[in-house]
Structure 1
Amino acid sequence: MIQRRNFTPAVYTAFVLAALVTVLPFTCKAASDDGSTLYYSANALYNQKLYALAVGEYKVFMEKHPEHAKIKDAHYGLALCYFSLGKHAEAEPELKTVIEYGTLGNTNQLHLMLGQCQLKLNKAAEAEESFTVVTSAAEPGPFAPIALAGLAETQFRQKKWDATVKTTDRIVASEPSQTMLIRGLYQGGYARHQMKKYKEAIPVLEKLLETKAAESLKLQTSFILAECCRETGDLEKAAKNYAAAIELEGSKHEVLYRLGFVRFMQKDYPGAVSALEQSLKVKPNSSFAANARIYIARALIKQKEYAKTIELLKPAEGAEEPNDETSLWLARAYTFQKNPVQAAKVLSSALERYPESKLSRELKFDLANAQIANSNFKPAGDLLSTLLNDPKWEQKTDATRLYAVCLHKTGDYTKSLAMADNFLRSAKNDSSIPDITFLKAENLYLLEKLDQALPVYKSFISKHPSHSNVDSATLRMAQVHYRKNQWSKALSLATPLAEKKPSGKVFSDLEFLIGDCMFRMEKWDEAIASLTAFLTKHPSGDPRIDTALVELGVAEVRKGNSEKAMTHFSKLVENHAKSPHCAVAYAELGRINYEAGENEPARAALEKCLELFPEGAQVPKATYYLGWIALKEKNDAEALKQFQALVTAHPGHKLSSDASLQLGLLQLGAKKYVEAKATLKAFLTKNPKHAEAVAATYTLGVASARSGDKNTAVAQFRQVATKHPKSEYADRALYELAWCYKEMKNKNEATKAYESLLENYPTSKLTTRVRVELAELTFDAKDYEKVIAELETTLEDLKDKNLREQTLYRLGTAYFNKGVFAKSAKTFEDLIAEFENSKLIVSATYQAGESRLKLGETEAARGHFLAVTKLKPDADIMESSLMRLGETESLTKRWEEASGSYGAFLKKFPKSKWITRARFGYAFALEKQGKHEDALAEYRKVLAGNKKDELSVRSQFQIGECLFALKKYDDAIKELVRVTVNYGDKEWSAKALLETGRILETKGEKAMAIDQFRKVVEKYPDHNVAVVAKQRIDALRRNK
């Protein structure tokens, strides 16, 4: 459609006030003052039309005599001067002032002048008010016509179209001058056009054309009249007036464009092309150029001149891509030319460049049709779906039909069915109803909704017996019966249809269907004969060959012909590797080969079955036989994996029960105790009298014990030991029973189980282990001498590495607890040397360190504690080992290593019960390295605990020592005094007093130092510090 033009109205400001000469008084006989002289002088100048000079006089008068009696008259004169000079901005306020006085001049004249000024100043709203005063006055006098013209102008400028119409109607009715009539008709006609009152505008504009208006105005009027005629549907008159307006200055290209549009609407396509081409010739790049080309193209398409259309719209090489509308019509030209590929390219490009275009819906719909023509159903469907969800798209029925087809072609039969139903509900007498009815039936069939599909096919055949898809529908009905296992009904439809010998690929299914029905009816000989005949006729290329082969193989299996069956199955997997029937073929090939003892080909076939058909019905069989192959090859992990997969994924399968027993045994071997427990429990529930029930019961006990379910384990082991004492599992059941009781803290029952085993099964391989573990029970009773005696004896002939390892550890622990540290150290060190990867290595190494430390062998002890820290033990042992390491490094005067160990301890165990002890050790090691400031900080952290223990008093003393070393003698003395004051510890008070003397001595205060040393001797005569104090006294006296 063509857009309605927004005209810029012609504004005329040339109308003027006529006969508005006002003469002002210029003499006053009574006036003798200077003010009056100035006033009348100004009046005189005004009357002489020396307006500029008069302005000067009035201003001087008003400035010098603001209170003069003639001041108001002066404002009146000044207003007239400004108006006469055309200084409307200066005249406006003066006129307003004079009007406010209300005593000077003619009110109508003053408002008319004010309106003129305001109109000149583009104050249309204010001018409207001023002119309205005159036009609404009871007696406007000679000012009425000009005021009406002025009022119409102000309303016109403000686009008050309704008011403009009313005012211009008054002007026209008032028998105005020719000039005012022409202006009034133009404004009235234009205003009606803008109000879309086209029918009312037409006679007004036609009357204007009858006047002696200027040629340029007539051209403008003809154009507006043409627009009104077009809008009212009078295309013939519109074309006539457009033709009359062709020479409209600056708009010729537009007039021609609109003329071309009207001719297009009149279906005068050659005329439309002529006018539009002239428009382009006048101004090739105008704002109408693109639309002109569009309508030329549309006119050409109407004339079936598609090549010319494409030539017109197709961009030149390297030129900018066409816009959205151009693209739309270019694509349609390609479509009419039967070139959907090119049409799709154009439309796709346009949608990419103009995604928000108003034409996007049309572009999408056309692109969908092009894509359908190109068999690109998925993108076509996506476009149609978007349009169907767009409330502004009107062609819903057509889009629904096409969308149903696209969905069907892309395999989305559910949605296609819904769309087909929507179409059939909404379409009335549509020619596509038969096609969509058949499509609906096809969707139902392909969705496996066979019972629903059958009546739709029947209805389709009944209502549209001559439709091209009737035979296809008949075939589908046969297939429905076939799918419903109604072999006889399927044959009753397929046989007569086959006799018609229908052509087409879809009907190649008929011969196979007939043979397949016989197979389904288990008529093996007939099935073999029919399927063999089918394969003879279709040796390759037919999609049913694979099914025929698998059915032949199965039929031969049913007849007991394994070799023939293998031939068919092998041919199937070799020539039809992607067929779903290969699952059966591979599974049967695997089974047949396994039963023949051919493990490798059996495994290859079964693994191929799982690889290609991981979700297929043959998975249980393939998995089961793979499990047995793995068992035969002693690959327990693989066997477990296969049996687990079978039992988990297919618990109800006939092979699952047998697989579950093997799975339970394998799970136990893999230490999957919880899983083994559940599996074996289920097996025993289903198979209580199975030949392997005892083994399963024992294994269930083991799995229960290992999973923490001691009560269930005890029950199972007791059942084996009491009900099956002669089984090979009886001694093991008693051993496991003892362990259960030990873990349940029932040492008496555990002892009984051990003793029962030793008594009833003296030749069992478990007796040595049982004796060791009995010794553990004795150990728990703290009878270390007995433990040592039993374990020393056992150790002599013990060859089992695991038991030897445990025995060494127990023996070392017994030595340690007994206080025999030399033996405990050696025993633990033997364990370390013999079992360097032992799980007990951390504990054994730590105990070896403790043993050496007890013996005072700090160097050896340190080596063990260091080794523990490198073994990354658990937190408790790490805590103890790190503490011991710091202590032994201090004892061996490795101060730097000690500070590192203590520092690590402080970071890792900030809440340890030994934290204060570690901090003191850290501080002391720092002090020994000469890091007195750092040591001071750590000692003070010890004191922050506000305790009165040995570490606190020692820290207080060491603070004094550090300050002494730092030569902060006075501070050192103060801290040493606190040793006695805060703690009162005799030992450290004595040392603190001695150190105070040493500090004074160092400071050179010998007398005070001697006094301090004397106090040490007097206060602590029996302490070793007294000896040192005496020595210092003697030395100081000698030095005097």
Structure 2
Amino acid sequence: MKCMCKTCVIVVWIAAIVAGGLPGWAANTEEEAYTVAVGLYNDGLIDLARDQFKNFLEQFPESSHAPYIQYLLGECDYRQNKYESAIQAYQQGITRYPGNIYLDQMMYKLGRAYFLSEEFQAAERTFEELIEEYPQSSQIQNASYWLGETLFKRGKYPQAVETFTSVIAQFPDYELVDYAYYSLGWSYFNLQRYAQAAESFRTVLDNFPDSSLRLSSQMNLARSLFHLQDYQQAYQEYTAIIETYTTEESREALFWAAESLYHLQEYERALSYYQQFVESPFPEAYVVDARYGLAWCLTALDRPYAAIEAFRELIAAYPDSYVVQSSQFQLGLLLLQTGQIEEARTVFETYVDQSPSSEYANDVRYQLGQIYFDQEKYDRALAIFQELIEDSSTETYLASARFMSGGCLYAQQRYREAIAQYEQAIIRAREELQQGLNEEARANRQQLIDDATFRIGLSAVNLEDYASAVSWLSQLIEGGAPVVPYGDQVYYWLGEASFNQGNYSEAAEAYQQVLTQFPESPSALRARYGLAWAYYELQQWERAAKEFETVYQANPDGEFALETMFQAIDSYLNAGQDANAESLYALMQEQFPADPLARRAQFRLAYTSYTEGDTARATTLLQNLLAGLPDEEAALLDLRIDAHNLLGWCYLRVEDFHQAIAQFEAVLGLAQDQDMRSRALLKIADAYYSLEEYRQAVSLYTQLLQDYPDAAEVPDANYSLILTYFHLGETAAYVQASKEFVDTYPNHELTPSVLYQLGDHYIQEQEYEHALELFQRLVADYPASEFQDEGVYGIGWCYFKLPDYPKAVEQFQTFVSRFPESEYVPDAYYGIATSFFHQQEYQQAITYYSLLLNSSPTYPLNDRVMLKLGTALINTGDLEQAVDVLQRSIDQYPDQPTLAEAFLRLGYALATQGKCEQAIPVLGRAVAGGEAVIAAEAQFRIGECHAELGRRDRAIVEYLKVVYLYPNQPSLVARAQFRAANIYEEIGKEEEAMKLYQKLIATAQDAALVEQAQQRVTDLNQELPRPQE
């Protein structure tokens, strides 16, 4: 009964609490309040318990139960997922009641509350503090595990790995250890450490057969193997799931099994799994990928039409899916593959319009550009490729877009722009080769480089930049073999470029490589044709003839037939094999009787005869050719002109100038070509020049200059005018024409000649300054001219004549050093020696005169050389050697124009040696044969000799002969008067002496001598007796 009453009371009490609310009720004691509050909490009446806990803490804040009540207050909120208020309650418990026994529990639940409210940073901090401060706590396992989960949530996967590994190691019996392995696996997975992830997931499967994580672990194990690209093992795990589990979730394995098989390239089986998954997809999110994979399997199985249908269905069913754009791109490629070009173009154009910035937009643009290119819509293709180049996000296509841009420009014959694009393509491709591409990508990039290199070579050929073409094409050959599959084209165009560059040997080698390495090439015949021309240009006439014949025989009805026969004839003629040429010519007339080339072959025979010197035969052939040419056949007009022209040359050769004039006038009558007319007019003028009809020549040369001022013959006409004026003796016109020529044509080959001739003219006119200027210009501006030696010598000669002897010596020495083999070397030695002689550097003069005599014993001026040498020896005091040289000069050159001077110098040397008796007759020879100046000095020297011999009377007579016989030699006259007066004094005839002195004073111009005579007069006046008054 008591019990029943008690029970009834409790029920009523609880009902009253529920009905009226606990806050209005107050327990009598602390223990009763504690018991009620805890009882409510334990019975699950969380809201009532929370209120009682709060009331308890308000009434009994210092109670020993307060920490626990505070903890349970947080638990109320925690159990109701009110984590923010739970966090506050736990924090208050930790703060208000430090050191209480529930602190580790509070901290653990605080960490969990933070975790569940996704405040992971605070959770991490809280769990770490708990582990550090309460290592013996009963919650240490949980705290460690949830610290790992917190680190995982924060993306701190390395720390999560470390934490889960520690939990597993320290607490192997922990109730959540399978979860620790599972989370460890996920941590490794997110670190892309798939091997460790797989090991962790496999541990769950192997060690925890009852774990609720088995399905997830096996799926993640398979996923890890998939990421490890161990698709076979991944496939086995997925199939194990499919076979083991029948849940809806296990159908995801169907999708991944298909993906694994796709990567294993087992497309048929992958297709089956994709189809199974699509029939009942789970998860639904994978259905797009499954259908996408299904379409790709059909593509890989080379079932393009089925693949096209699959991609179209996918696009229609899921127009907003992420694979639509790539599906559209692949659809376009499949349409291209099946030849549905217009449909493909439409797909690509639509794609670009609708998704210009999508992932595959650039791939689509590139393919669209390719379509436009193949359809020869080069402007549209170029615009697309340039867009790809300008778009900074298209690095993948930079090299290819550059290459295709070059292709578009090349097709439009915009070769320079094409080269620029190809070069950029090469640069980009080379950069990509440095980026560690796979083997296939590297091969593709190298092929692009090779193709671009070839295209640059072809562009350079079209631009006639053959040196560049050779340089680029040569890069495609290594070790004598091409590095590209179209090696025949490389060699052929290398031959063409080399040929047009004038490198015929290299061209022949390239053409030969086509024939040797690629005998079946479509370019073989053209290569042989090029080879024939290369031999022709190399003047290997026989080889050229045989190759031309081979081309003809290989295709006698082809485009090269007639030309190669003609060239074979020409080559045989050049080889001197006239019989072969005549034989081919006969065949040519038989097969092509009316063809102009047959008549041209006749002209070629005539030309060969002319070049071989058989002018008569050439003349006959040309006359016959002209007689047989129909006047009205305009196609052969150029041949008629050439025939008249060559016939004119034939007549020039035999100096039949009138006939030559007639032929060249015929050329003028027929030819419209300005070059041909100007050449003919020049030859007519030259013919009149050769006939010495200089006025007519001048008229025609002038006409040529007026009518054809830009003709190539103008310089020749101007030069010929110079020569004509010279022959006419019109000096002013000659000089003016020469000056105009050198100023107008500074780079003409005849300009050095004109400069030299004009300089020589000025020398003849003794205008040495003008001559010097011209010779200096010749030497400075034309260092490779054949007139260099004449120019340098002319400079020395001008300095000699000016006179500037030091510069003359320098120039002559330069000449000898630079041109030791020149015919002017003896003249230069003479100039050096004589310049030293005039500078009174007699020893140097002696050296060079002696060198000249020894090196050039037949030098035409050696008589003068010996005279100068003897004179120099006299001046150095080497009288004996001087006598020897002068005597030899007189003996060797008895007719020399300076013989009298030689006798004078010899007589002087003998007299100076004291051999006056020998000197007197020698000096007499000088008097007898010399001009006044020589004779006067010789006469004076005779007087000196007689004076020396003491023959005073005879000496006076000889001196006075100078006075009376050579009055036009005032210097010697004065000296002779003075010496005669001196002797008169010596023999005591002062009055006669006085007369001579006075006469000298009155007439002499030598001031010093006059002064001496005046002194003698003064002295004699003092010595002579005065007349008596």
> TM class, shorter-chain normalised?
0.5 to 0.7
* Residue of structure 2 in register with 1:300 after alignment: 335
Give the distance between the partners of 2:94 and 2:775, measured in 1 at CA.
120
* Residue of structure 2 in register with 1:558 after alignment: 653
In the TM superposition, what is the alpha-carbon distance from 1:169 to its structure 2 partner? 0.8
Q: Which amino acid aligns with 1:131?
A: F
Q: Which of 649, 665, 679 is the equivalent residue of 1:567?
A: 665
* Residue of structure 1 in register with 2:364 after alignment: 326
* Residue of structure 1 in register with 2:62 after alignment: 34
Query: Per the alignment, do residues 654 and 492 of structure 1 end up closer, same or farther by CA in structure 2, a change over 3 Å counting?
Result: farther
Query: Per the alignment, do residues 494 and 239 of structure 1 end up closer, same or farther by CA in structure 2, a change over 3 Å counting?
Result: closer
Query: Per the alignment, do residues 481 and 697 of structure 1 end up closer, same or farther by CA in structure 2, a change over 3 Å counting?
Result: same
Does the 8 A contact of 1:677 with 1:704 survive in 2?
Answer: no
Query: Per the alignment, do residues 757 and 407 of structure 1 end up closer, same or farther by CA in structure 2, a change over 3 Å counting?
Result: farther
Q: Which of 217, 224, 247 is the equivalent residue of 1:184?
A: 217
In the TM superposition, what is the alpha-carbon distance from 1:305 to its structure 2 partner? 1.8
Does the 8 A contact of 1:306 with 1:333 survive in 2?
Answer: yes
Does the 8 A contact of 2:797 with 2:808 survive in 1?
Answer: no
Give the distance between the partners of 1:541 and 1:352, measured in 2 at CA.
57
Give the distance between the partners of 2:617 and 2:768, measured in 1 at CA.
52
Which stretch of the first structure deviates more once superposed, 484-493 or 108-117? Answer: 484-493
* Superposition pairs of residues 359-758 of structure 1, within 5 angstroms: 359-367=397-405, 390-391=429-430, 392=433, 393-395=445-447, 405-414=458-467, 416-417=469-470, 419=473, 422-423=476-477, 432=486, 438-451=492-505, 479=533, 482-483=536-537, 502-504=557-559, 507-508=562-563, 510=567, 511=597, 512=600, 514-515=604-605, 516-524=607-615, 526-527=617-618, 529=621, 539-540=634-635, 551-559=646-654, 560=656, 561-567=659-665, 570=668, 575-577=672-674, 585=680, 587-588=682-683, 591-592=686-687, 595=694, 597=696, 599=698, 601-603=700-702, 605-606=704-705, 611-613=710-712, 621-627=716-722, 634=733, 639-643=738-742, 649-650=748-749, 658=757, 660-662=759-761, 673-676=772-775, 701=801
* Residue of structure 2 in register with 1:229 after alignment: 261
Query: Per the alignment, do residues 571 and 660 of structure 1 end up closer, same or farther by CA in structure 2, a change over 3 Å counting?
Result: farther
Per-residue Cα deviation, 1:123-173 (whole angstroms, up to 9, x for no partner):
555444443333223542423223333333444444443332111111122
Which stretch of the first structure deviates more once superposed, 228-237 or 209-218? Answer: 209-218
Gaps of 5+ in 1: 1-25, 27-31, 726-754, 760-777, 779-1040
Q: Which of 302, 307, 322 is the equivalent residue of 1:267?
A: 302
Partner of 2:464: helix, strand, or coil? coil
In the TM superposition, what is the alpha-carbon distance from 1:269 to its structure 2 partner? 1.2
Give the distance between the partners of 2:511 and 2:789, measured in 1 at CA.
53
Per-residue Cα deviation, 1:547-596 (whole angstroms, up to 9, x for no partner):
77754553443353332343365468x5334x6x7885565356457745
Partner of 1:34: helix, strand, or coil? coil
* Residue of structure 2 in register with 1:101 after alignment: 134
Query: What do you get for the CA RMSD once the two structures are aligned?
Result: 5.9
* Residue of structure 1 in register with 2:1013 after alignment: none
Does the 8 A contact of 1:479 with 1:490 survive in 2?
Answer: yes
TM-score (norm 1): 0.53
Largest Rg, 1 or 2: 2
- Equivalent residues, number: 688
Give the distance between the partners of 1:611 and 1:758, measured in 2 at CA.
65
Does the 8 A contact of 1:372 with 1:406 survive in 2?
Answer: yes
Per-residue Cα deviation, 1:374-426 (whole angstroms, up to 9, x for no partner):
66665556655665664442226666665555544443445555636844857
* Residue of structure 2 in register with 1:874 after alignment: none
* Residue of structure 2 in register with 1:199 after alignment: 232
Gaps of 5+ in 2: 1-52, 54-59, 434-444, 568-596, 781-785, 812-830, 839-860, 869-895, 899-966, 972-1004, 1006-1029
Give the distance between the partners of 2:393 and 2:69, measured in 1 at CA.
77
Query: Per the alignment, do residues 71 and 670 of structure 1 end up closer, same or farther by CA in structure 2, a change over 3 Å counting?
Result: farther
Does the 8 A contact of 2:771 with 2:798 survive in 1?
Answer: no
Query: Per the alignment, do residues 324 and 384 of structure 1 end up closer, same or farther by CA in structure 2, a change over 3 Å counting?
Result: same
Q: Which amino acid aligns with 1:504?
A: E
Query: Per the alignment, do residues 450 and 151 of structure 1 end up closer, same or farther by CA in structure 2, a change over 3 Å counting?
Result: closer
Partner of 2:213: helix, strand, or coil? helix
Per-residue Cα deviation, 1:684-719 (whole angstroms, up to 9, x for no partner):
986999xxx9x9978983596999999999979999
* Residue of structure 1 in register with 2:814 after alignment: none
Q: Which amino acid aligns with 2:653?
A: R
> Does 2:194 correspond to 1:161?
yes
Q: Which of 358, 377, 395 is the equivalent residue of 1:357?
A: 395
Give the distance between the partners of 1:489 and 1:157, measured in 2 at CA.
77
Give the distance between the partners of 2:373 and 2:483, measured in 1 at CA.
27
Does the 8 A contact of 1:161 with 1:195 survive in 2?
Answer: yes
Partner of 1:359: helix, strand, or coil? helix
Query: Per the alignment, do residues 201 and 175 of structure 1 end up closer, same or farther by CA in structure 2, a change over 3 Å counting?
Result: same
* Superposition pairs of residues 960-1039 of structure 1, within 5 angstroms: none
Q: Which amino acid aligns with 1:394?
A: Q
Partner of 2:446: helix, strand, or coil? coil
Query: Per the alignment, do residues 490 and 228 of structure 1 end up closer, same or farther by CA in structure 2, a change over 3 Å counting?
Result: closer
Q: Which amino acid aligns with 2:108?
A: A
Give the distance between the partners of 1:55 and 1:386, measured in 2 at CA.
65
In the TM superposition, what is the alpha-carbon distance from 1:646 to its structure 2 partner? 7.0
Give the distance between the partners of 1:149 and 1:568, measured in 2 at CA.
110
> Does 2:234 correspond to 1:134?
no
Give the distance between the partners of 2:385 and 2:301, measured in 1 at CA.
29
Partner of 1:142: helix, strand, or coil? coil
Give the distance between the partners of 1:688 and 1:152, measured in 2 at CA.
97
Give the distance between the partners of 1:684 and 1:373, measured in 2 at CA.
53
Give the distance between the partners of 2:394 and 2:803, measured in 1 at CA.
69
Does the 8 A contact of 1:377 with 1:410 survive in 2?
Answer: yes
Give the distance between the partners of 1:144 and 1:539, measured in 2 at CA.
109
Q: Which amino acid aligns with 1:112?
A: Y
Does the 8 A contact of 1:589 with 1:602 survive in 2?
Answer: no
Give the distance between the partners of 2:355 and 2:408, measured in 1 at CA.
23
* Superposition pairs of residues 40-51 of structure 1, within 5 angstroms: 40-42=68-70, 45=73
Does the 8 A contact of 2:641 with 2:667 survive in 1?
Answer: no
Does the 8 A contact of 2:398 with 2:425 survive in 1?
Answer: no
Per-residue Cα deviation, 1:786-807 (whole angstroms, up to 9, x for no partner):
xxxxxxxxxxxxxxxxxxxxxx
Q: Which of 60, 83, 103 is the equivalent residue of 1:74?
A: 103
Give the distance between the partners of 2:409 and 2:142, measured in 1 at CA.
76
Give the distance between the partners of 1:326 and 1:637, measured in 2 at CA.
75
> Does 2:344 correspond to 1:309?
yes
> Does 2:167 correspond to 1:112?
no
Partner of 1:360: helix, strand, or coil? helix
Query: Per the alignment, do residues 35 and 172 of structure 1 end up closer, same or farther by CA in structure 2, a change over 3 Å counting?
Result: same
Give the distance between the partners of 2:318 and 2:333, measured in 1 at CA.
20
Q: Which amino acid aligns with 1:41?
A: I
Q: Which amino acid aligns with 1:305?
A: Q
Give the distance between the partners of 2:383 and 2:791, measured in 1 at CA.
70
Give the distance between the partners of 2:97 and 2:514, measured in 1 at CA.
110
Does the 8 A contact of 2:93 with 2:106 survive in 1?
Answer: no
